[in-house]
Amino acid sequence: MLLALDAGNTNITIGAFEDGHLTRRSRLRTIPDQTPDEWGILMRNLFALAELDLTKVDGIIIASVVPPLDSVLTAMAERYFQTTPQFITPGLDIGMPVLYDNPKEVGADRVVNGLAAFHRYGGPCVVVDLGTTINFDIVSARGEYLGGMICPGIGISITGLFSRTARLPMVDFREPESLIGKNTVNSIQSGLFYGFAGLIDGILERVIKELGPETKAIATGGQASLILPASRYLKYINEDLTLEGLELIWRRLQKKK
């Protein structure tokens, strides 16, 4: 059994793969100051609830954008699963050229998303990852990671709006009942929903114009399913894209051994 971990700034998504198939997905809050034992106990509890056999884990692969967490997850893996995890690093041969000016700057999850999208949907393609930030990751028709864009995330924007204004309430992100809000909450929700839909479509329109009309646009991340209906260009949704990419890389690395 393979464990694939996508360690982001807000959440850690954990996928369990058996014979190449994702059998379980769980999500935990990212808490960098938790100890290896605390992470280990959480993992054991998740396995127990899912009725998975902890002893069957024979590999762990991690895409992390939280450097302080890396040593903690390594210690957890070695202590509770008796295996040293494989991290996605700039020098790792993942099977996709990274054409960033400095490949060390690009987040591990971004190149993994690009690889998974190209493998599943072909190229050219662009992944829109709606997480703490909104990342656009672009892959050429030849399977090259070209780069992309990073925008403020929906959650960050909601928190900023609430914390920097005296009278505006905190709201949840959802499709509004109508375009024109008739009260403050509905007005904020409409502005957020259609504002981010417009941001996403505005960038995708430019990307598709540059790469060609055959470009596939794929949404992933926590709010992907909410924003998809409002977009003119997002045609696919895959909430497990990063996990799938990690499993692909793991399989590639095992074949090279």
pLDDT 10s digits, 57-107 = 889 999 999 999 999 999 999 999 999 999 999 889 899 999 999 988 998
- The pLDDT value recorded for residue 132 is 85
Q: Is 37 a catalytic residue?
A: no
Are the C-beta atoms of residues 236 and 220 closer than 8 Å to each other? Answer: no
pLDDT 10s digits, 149-202 = 999 988 888 888 777 786 777 787 888 888 998 888 888 889 999 999 999 999
pLDDT 10s digits, 104-154 = 899 899 999 999 999 999 999 999 999 889 999 999 999 999 999 999 988
Rg of the chain's alpha carbons, rounded to an integer? 19
Strands (E), 154-240: 216-221, 236-237
Residues 190, 60: Cα–Cα separation, whole Å: 41
Residue 254 scores a pLDDT above 80: yes
- The pLDDT value recorded for residue 55 is 81
Longest dimension (CA), the chain: 62
Distance of CA 18 to the CA centre of its chain: 21
pLDDT 10s digits, 217-239 = 999 988 888 888 899 999 999 99
- The pLDDT value recorded for residue 210 is 96
C-alpha torsion angle, residues 158, 137, 31, 80 (rounded to 10):
150
Query: Which of 99, 76, 98 minimizes the C-alpha distance to 28?
Result: 76
Query: Which of 246, 253, 255 minimizes the C-alpha distance to 112?
Result: 246
> Which residue type, as a one-letter code, is found at position 164?
R
What is the chain's length?
A: 257
List 138's β-bridge partners, or say none. Answer: 126, 147
The predicted model scores a pTM of: 0.90
Bigger pLDDT: 131 vs 210: 210
- The pLDDT value recorded for residue 22 is 93
**pLDDT > 90 fraction of the chain, expressed in percent and rounded:** 60
Residues 139, 48: Cα–Cα separation, whole Å: 39
- The pLDDT value recorded for residue 172 is 79
- The pLDDT value recorded for residue 129 is 95
Q: Quick one: tokens of 220?
A: 């992933």
Angle between helix 67-80 and helix 36-50 axes, rounded to 10 deg: 60
Residues 30, 211: Cα–Cα separation, whole Å: 35
Residue 56 scores a pLDDT above 90: no
- Per-residue pLDDT averaged across 23-30, rounded? 89
Q: Quick one: tokens of 110?
A: 């971004």
| Per annotation, catalytic residue among 6, 70, 109, 240 | 109
- The pLDDT value recorded for residue 47 is 85
- Per-residue pLDDT averaged across 205-219, rounded? 97
Bigger pLDDT: 162 vs 32: 32
Query: Which of 204, 214, 187 minimizes the C-alpha distance to 134?
Result: 204
